[in-house]
A and B are shown apart, each in its own frame.
Chain A
Amino acid sequence: MTQTGTPVDAPPSAEGGAAPKRAAPDDRRQKWRSRRYRWDAKFSPYAFISPFFLFFGAFGLFPLLYTAWASLHRVELTAPTDMEWAGLHNYTRLLEDDFFWNSLWVTFTLAVLSTVPQLLMAMGLAHLLNYKMRAASLFRVAMLAPYATSVAAATLVFAMLYGRDYGMINWFFGLFGVDEIDWKSGSWTSKLAISTIVIWRWTGYNTLIYLAAMQAVPQDLYESASLDGASRWKQFRYVTIPSLRPTILFTVVVSTIGSVQLFGEPLLFEEGAGASGGADHQFQTLGLYLYEQGWRNLHLGRAAAIAWVMFLILVVIGIVFGLISRRLRKS
């Protein structure tokens, strides 16, 4: 860039025969040039990566800090600039807020119900896809199709399937004489139903991640294992799984973060319920409760406090997983 010399500077021979009085400005220019060069080398990289940080500052950091500031105030959506200092009230009240604890519980159960089967199934599917077979790439692409579907579209379809009176799932169960199940109003049935949506959408994604990791496992490990007489299952159990440990940890972290933020599925699962998560708040996740407080009840301060609690929960989860992975690396 700037260091490409100009023609004036080009002939170095000129220096030798130059008059002594010209030496000073020449020297200065030389200095200036080298300083510019140094600055360039030093600061250009920052300039190049600055767009990210500018955007992050404007759309990531600033909202985060502003949310923290708002959470210490009483603010309503009807007048977001009228902030009344409330101290930690918005946080302390959460301790006695039954609806908050309920949503925390719902979020936790949904996380377990969706993450565990999802990762187990992904592992199994990845193992199967790892075999030599025909049309392997077709299967791999098919795995990813649900992931490419929009949350809204998938949820609306599932909501129809889980309909009480005319849903296909109840019709199917009806063939075996099972009574109509009111999926959406039941506490556990609604959670099961929502977790199937999450499982359906994310299993393929995790499968591909596992598959990629499996293909990186050196083939000779399997060969020597089979020479030792290890069965397929034993190979999977003692060769594949240990080699996949960091990948497993990664997928667990990602799906845990995803489940703490679970929002679209429970919001759209029952259209009439809005952000309440059902008459009994039976599927109101933290995200939904935040949304209800902020955008239905218009209490921005309370919503901001919930948002920060969610953020802190994620930080804690991050630290825990960080510690676990350090342990794993050591062992």
Chain B
Amino acid sequence: MRSYRTTRRAVGLLAAAVLGTGLLSACASDDDDGGSDTDSGDGGGGKTTITMGLFGTFGFKEAGLYKEYEKLNPDIKIKEDVIERNENYYPALLNHLTSNSGLADVQAVEVANIAEVVDTQADRFMDLGKVEGVSEDAFLDWKWQQATADDGKTIGLGTDVGPMAICYRKDHFEEAGLPTDREEVAKLWEGDWEKFLDAGRDFKENGPEGVAWVDSADAVYDGAIASSEGKYYNEDGDVIYKESPDVAAAWDIAAAAAEEKLTGNLQQFTKQWDQAMSNGDFATISCPAWMLGYIQEKGGSKSEGKWDVARSPMPGNWGGSFLGVPESGDNKDEAAKLVAWLTAPEQQAKLFAERGNFPSAPPAYDMDAVKTATNPYFGDAPIGELFSASAQEIPVQTIGPKDQIIDQNIGNGLQLIEQGKEDPDGAWDEAVNAADNALDQ
């Protein structure tokens, strides 16, 4: 009887403890900038607080850049406000911009949305091109142009870019009789996405059972379209995705991969995908620089030493972001200074060394932190060299305001093939239907 009582009490205590820690940690994640203890707003002895509105993980804080800036500028305090997914962040940002309230001093914009922001919200942002210490030459030309309006106003400075590579599992390659050395692997598919599929066919034949060649058809498509010059808009800003030969070519490659079941029928950035990644259920994945960190995080120690990274069939860019300063902010001049500092080559190089976000500023490529960087998780691959080479060959792509929407609907179409619901032609029609419906105002 007594022992029963004690267990019951123990269970109760345990439950309380678990709940308590849950509560505590919830509070902690809300506000855990340990160091300074000045109160919010601009209390604390005339300090200016700059707020950063971000999505996902930019890694500024994790790489210690805020602390460093605060040390350099004792009057400044930096706070960040992060929404995890850009798809939720972006509508809120538009809402705040158009109603001119609730904006942070600095707002991040994803490359998929930058054209729309430049088109429709340019007058609500400061011209960062005119801020002291900002030099156009320090940025990749196309990155600079993407955030610059026709009248020459630059509303955002590039943080990172996503030069592409292919990550692959050495253990699966070995089992399938494919080379494992990254130079030889790169030669397998050099210059042609079709060769990438050929290697996949070979892998399907000889590789381990239950392991897909690549995670998803959508990722193959993203890789292929990233390396082409044309995308969904022409130079005049008309939507041409239906006629674009580049889109058709990328679609055909991805659709073939889906139809021949070379893909794992997974959707990126879902739990299922994470699980498949950590269990090694696919052999390759399109790998922009920022993906390495993701793979490492999800793979953990279980997959350590199994991954490597090789050049992609063709160089391309996938992802990357910008930082802009809304015109209406109270601290816009201080905020602009901070953005200029954060996106300067030195800081971008530091961020790469710490977090793997690849710099959009070429002067950083010659700095040691980038040039000689290797990644132990990926078999000491010389990632600095690899991605620098890729970044400098990225084609200048014409981007448009609705790239993201078209992209999503094409991705949905490819999934229909993977799920066996449509053949490639039917899936294309479905994708076009959905995209047109989404574009129509």
Residues of A within 8 A of B (CB): 74, 76-81, 97-99, 159-160, 163-166, 182, 185, 270-274, 276, 279-281, 292, 295-299, 301-302
Q: What are 7 of the A-B contact pairs (CB < 8 Å)? A: A166-B272, A185-B419, A272-B269, A272-B270, A280-B412, A296-B87, A296-B91
Complex contact B267–A166 (CB within 8 A): no
Other than the given A166-B279, A185-B419, A272-B267, 12 more pairs (CB < 8 A) read A78-B119, A80-B99, A97-B437, A98-B433, A99-B434, A165-B276, A272-B268, A276-B434, A279-B412, A292-B438, A297-B405, A298-B91
Decide: A280 and B408 in contact? CB cutoff 8 A: no
Give the distance to chain A from B23, nearest Cβ to Cβ, in Å. 15
A163 engages B441 (CB within 8 Å): no
Residue of A97, A160, A163, A279 contacting most chain B CB atoms (<10 Å): A279
Docked CA distance A130–B240 (Å): 66
Q: A271-B269, A280-B421 are in contact. Are A296 and B281 (CB under 8 A)?
A: no
Q: In this assembly, does B120 line the interface, its C-beta being within 8 Å of a C-beta of chain A?
A: yes
Q: Considering only CB atoms, which chain B residue lies closest to A86 in the complex?
A: B441
Chain A residues in 8 Å Cβ range of B430: 280
From residue B243, how far is it (CB to closest CB) to chain A in Å? 22
Q: In the bound complex, what is the Cα–Cα distance between A302 and B408 (angstroms)?
A: 20
Interface residues on chain B, size class: 35 or more
Give CA–CA (A160, B270) in the complex, Å: 10
Question: Contacting A298 at CB < 8 Å: which of B94, B99, B272, B437?
Answer: B94
A276 contacts B95, C-beta separation under 8 Å: no
Closest chain-B Cβ to A66's Cβ sits at a distance in Å of 14
Tell me the interface secondary structure of chain B in the complex: helix
Q: Could you say which residues of chain B place their CB within 8 Å of the CB of A164?
A: 272
Kindly list chain B residues whose C-beta atoms are within 8 Å of the C-beta of A296.
87, 91, 405, 438
Q: How far is the CA of A276 from the CA of B430 in the complex (A)?
A: 13
Query: B398 within 8 Å of A by Cβ?
Result: no
Given contacts A79-B120, A165-B272, A274-B87, contact A74 B437 (CB under 8 A): no
Within 8 A of A (CB), among B390-441: 405, 408, 412-413, 415-416, 419, 421, 430, 433-434, 437-441
Closest A residue to B421 by beta carbon equals A280
**B262-278: which have CB < 8 Å to A?**
265, 267-273, 275-276
Does B234 have its Cβ within 8 Å of any Cβ on chain A? Answer: no
Contact of A271 with B87 at beta-carbon distance under 8 Å, contacts A78-B94, A279-B412, A280-B421 already known: no
Report the separation of the CA atoms of residues A163 and B270 in the bound assembly, to the nearest whole angstrom.
10
Most buried by A among B276, B438, B439: B438
CB–CB B437/A79 < 8 A: no
Contact B267 A77 (CB under 8 A): no
Minimum C-beta distance from A54 to chain B (A): 22
Q: Is the CB of B438 within 8 A of A297?
A: yes
Known: A78-B116, A163-B272, A163-B275. A274 touches B91 (CB 8 A): no
State the Cβ distance, B328 to closest chain A Cβ, in Å.
16
Partner of A276, one of B116, B271, B408, B421: B408
> Do the beta carbons of B95 and A99 come within 8 Å of each other?
no
When chains A and B are docked, how far (Å) is the Cα of A295 from the Cα of B87? 9
Q: Inside 8 A of B98's CB, which chain A residues have their CB? A: 77-81
Q: Do A76 and B267 touch (CB < 8 A)?
A: no
B180 within 8 A of A: no
- CB of B296 within 8 A of chain A? no
Minimum CB distance partner of A75 in chain B: B441
3 A-B pairs with least C-beta separation: A279-B415, A272-B267, A78-B120
Q: Could you say which residues of chain A place their CB within 8 Å of the CB of B273?
A: 272
**A268–B121 alpha-carbon span in the complex (Å):** 30
Contact of B441 among A76, A81, A273, A295 (CB under 8 A): A76
A99 and B271 within 8 A (CB): no
Contact of B275 among A166, A270, A276, A295 (CB under 8 A): A166
Q: CA A68 – CA B91 in complex, angstroms?
A: 21
Q: Across the interface, which residues of A come within 8 angstroms of B99, CB to CB?
A: 80
